[in-house]
Structure 1
Amino acid sequence: MSGGPTGPVLAAGAVVWREQDGQPLVLLIHREHHNDVSFPKGKVDPGESVPTTAVREIEEETGYRVHLGAPLGTAEYVLPNGRDKVVHYWSARVSKKEFERAGAFAPNDEVASVEWVTIDDAHGRLTYDRDVEILTRFADRAAAGEHRTFALIALRHAKTVPGSDWDGPDATRPLLPVGRSQAKAVVSPVAAFGPKKIVSSTAARCLATVEPLSARTKVGVQATPDISQDAHDRGAANVKGVVRRRLDKEKSTVLCSHGPVLPDIIARIAGATADGSRHFDLRRAAMLSVGDFAVMHIADGRLVAVETHRNPVAS
């Protein structure tokens, strides 16, 4: 959420792009009241996650419904009132189907007009140097063929009744009330990355964690013991097989599992996609707290970026 009177103002947006004749075009917006040309973005509402803000603002300002690709970092600057502002950016692709659905742009209170331009043209059109820096990061990704990505999203189940307070089998432990709140709170930020598949441990706590996400996205849940804690403790888990199948499918997928299993999931993904030429914070991604998630962005079999997100509901 936005910082207090002395904290930074948080905002989020994206380099929105689509393909034409095999080349990426990027979307620029013109705001008359600022007399500038920039990327779609906006301030984080109270209680809202940064990824949720990005997709909401893009639709409000441009009419396009997008899912987030790989992160492009932040732009930081000082507002006229002296407060710092931090804008988080991702790439976000507009598919041909979505481009046709949205139709012609209708001016709104924020944006007077939009324009699809080449990356080279965008460099000369953007008003602010900070936006040019973000565009350059996207251009570098595009030049390397790493702008079209899919995501494997590792989600740790929400807060659960402790084993010491549960008489039944470990796999049947339910979520606590705070855990149910965490499961609801994680829906929008995870949905911002457009999962097409949800794979869950067979444990009740994992299935309950992804239930609200499944209902919101209308994506069914595939339950498997291969990433369950019971199988892990017996040495019978098949994390490698699950990860390999998801990588082969190249579809954004949620993998909901347990604290002891997640390091193996992260390591298997990285082992199959990272070539050692870039550093990623895999330790943080592997050591998620309950209800948190990590997003691993992959392009053409290569790991492009890793990001982690805290659950807004404290455990």
Structure 2
Amino acid sequence: MGSVAVRRFVGPRSSDGTAAQARSSWVIKAAGAVLWREADGDVEIAVVHRLRYDDWSLPKGKLDRGETIPACAVREILEETGYSCVLGRFLRQVSYAVGGDAKTVDYFAAEAVSGSFVANDEVDSLRWLPVDEAAALLTYAPDREVLAEFGRLPADLLLVLLVRHAKAGKRSEWDDDDDLRPLSGSGWKQAEALQSLLPLWAPTRVHSAPRVRCVDTVRGVAEDLSVEMVEEARLSEEGYWPDPDAGLVRLLEIAAQEGRAVVSSQGGVIPSVVQTLAELGGLRIDEVPCKKGSVWVLAFTRPFGTWSTSDSPSRWPTLVSAHYLASALPRP
């Protein structure tokens, strides 16, 4: 397997910006997951034994060139465990040194949906265990910390993929109705990347603010799913700001519906929605970036029983995890 490493100079620099010392280090990027499945009303975790290291760990591996971190997690799960999976919430990033280089591993929750284990060159054994037993078997403390984060919340959460529309050129250079401003060439590339990335979370519904640039950003996802896109006027800038509470409630309604949702909106809406939902849920987010073509992976608790907006807010879906993906494009 290939890997992606980012070279960064760690020595001082001269006045022209070049490295004054040749010493540099590599950051090795990797991804993995807590792979889970339901078992008799509870949850079991897959723990793998690596023959080369004689250790028990969570499945993970290095990025291939031209691969995104979420795609790497899904591929490595399949290669090491034999299971196809669907990604859930982001758990945490682990950092450590390998030789003289730094390595980071991004971990997601991931539900096993099909497959079976067959011993391979990397993994000679796999055990499905309850969370506590899996934690006791894991060799390394960072893996146990990742598993503890997984166990902090229910495995089966509601999920919304909140997308800012892709690049659409400058508003000042568009003479027609701004609602009709189309994606630029780079925007279409971002839309194609989202068409590959978003299915890793297995959405079943696609919603969009009624703007051409918002609709076209996720049109490919809707076509691949063979579903009609649902127009969401409350989640456009003009529809949201006259009544932000109504916009927030609408997003919660979308989250609570059956199946996961993709929602395409605008930069004037997304930061307010994410920050407000985080504050309501007691979730600390220091900043809410929102680049064009970016994605917020939002996970919510499931309301008990049938839920409606007439219920007490204490029974509404609560935001418990928010992870920002700045780009759907792979690293060069």
TM bucket by the smaller chain?
Answer: 0.7 to 0.9
Matched residue, 1:133: 145
1:172 CA drift (Å):
0.9
**Alignment counterpart, residue 205 of structure 2, candidates 192, 197, 202:** 197
1:225-270: CA deviation from partner (whole Å, max 9, x where unpaired): 332344457x488524521321331532111011112234325644
2-side partners of 1:67 and 1:92: how far apart?
5
Larger relative helix fraction: 1
1:15 CA drift (Å):
0.8
Q: How does 1:214-229 map to 2 (within 5 A)?
A: 214-229=222-237
1-side partners of 2:151 and 2:269: how far apart?
36
TM-score by structure 2 length?
A: 0.81
Matched residue, 2:33: 14
2-side partners of 1:42 and 1:176: how far apart?
35
1:85 CA drift (Å):
1.0
2-side partners of 1:218 and 1:117: how far apart?
37
Q: Is the 8 A contact 2:298 2:322 kept in 1?
A: yes
Q: Is the 8 A contact 2:255 2:261 kept in 1?
A: no
Find the residue that maps to 1:67 and give its secondary structure.
strand
Matched residue, 2:43: 24
Structure 1 residues 268 and 239: alpha-carbon distance in aligned structure 2, compared to 1, 3 A threshold: farther
1-side partners of 2:81 and 2:224: how far apart?
23
Opposite residue 40 of structure 1, the aligned amino acid is: P
**Alignment counterpart, residue 71 of structure 2, candidates 52, 60, 65:** 52
Q: How does 1:172-211 map to 2 (within 5 A)?
A: 172-211=180-219
Matched residue, 2:21: none
Find the residue that maps to 1:7 and give its secondary structure.
strand
1:220 CA drift (Å):
4.1
Q: Is the 8 A contact 1:291 1:310 kept in 2?
A: yes
Find the residue that maps to 1:153 and give its secondary structure.
strand
Q: Gapped runs of 5+ residues in structure 2?
A: 8-23, 303-316
1-side partners of 2:227 and 2:164: how far apart?
18
Q: Is the 8 A contact 1:229 1:261 kept in 2?
A: yes
2-side partners of 1:91 and 1:253: how far apart?
17
Find the residue that maps to 2:192 and give its secondary structure.
helix
**Alignment counterpart, residue 152 of structure 1, candidates 143, 155, 160:** 160
Matched residue, 1:64: 83
Matched residue, 2:5: 2
Structure 1 residues 106 and 248: alpha-carbon distance in aligned structure 2, compared to 1, 3 A threshold: same
Whether 1:311 aligns to 2:310 is no
Taking only aligned residues, the RMSD between alpha carbons, in angstroms, comes to: 2.4
Count residues in correspondence.
Answer: 296
Q: Gapped runs of 5+ residues in structure 1?
A: none
Structure 1 residues 120 and 248: alpha-carbon distance in aligned structure 2, compared to 1, 3 A threshold: closer
Q: Identity rate of aligned residues, in percent?
A: 32
Q: Is the 8 A contact 2:31 2:106 kept in 1?
A: yes
Structure 1 residues 312 and 193: alpha-carbon distance in aligned structure 2, compared to 1, 3 A threshold: closer
